[in-house]
Amino acid sequence: MTTVTISLQAINDVKEFVNIVMRFDFDVDLVSGRYAIDAKSIMGIFSLDLSKPIELHAHTDNAKEFLNAIGKFIVK
């Protein structure tokens, strides 16, 4: 499993992020506080507090291509 922190500031960011995540066949979870949701669910993402950074868990051992694809959302 690979874990990074991401930030989704605008509605268009959420739509673009979900479109990217949908291209990958492994599970991706977003964790904010005590809530964990499927990163492929737009409605789930909007249920989170998007004003704070969100922890992302990609359930794969080879996440390099995935991390490159979502690079603009990763908090450095």
Decide if 1 contacts 19 (C-beta within 8 A): no
pTM, two decimal places: 0.90
pLDDT in tens, 3-38: 999 999 999 999 999 999 999 999 999 999 899 999
Answer yes or no: is pLDDT of 61 > 90: no
What is d(CA 59, CA 56) in angstroms, rounded to the nearest whole number? 10
Query: How would residue 74 be classed by pLDDT, with cut points 50, 70 and 90?
Result: very high
Q: In the numeric block, which tokens belong to residue 8?
A: 């989704």
What is d(CA 30, CA 4) in angstroms, rounded to the nearest whole number? 10
- Please report the pLDDT score of residue 62 as a whole number: 87
Beta bridge partners of 35: 32
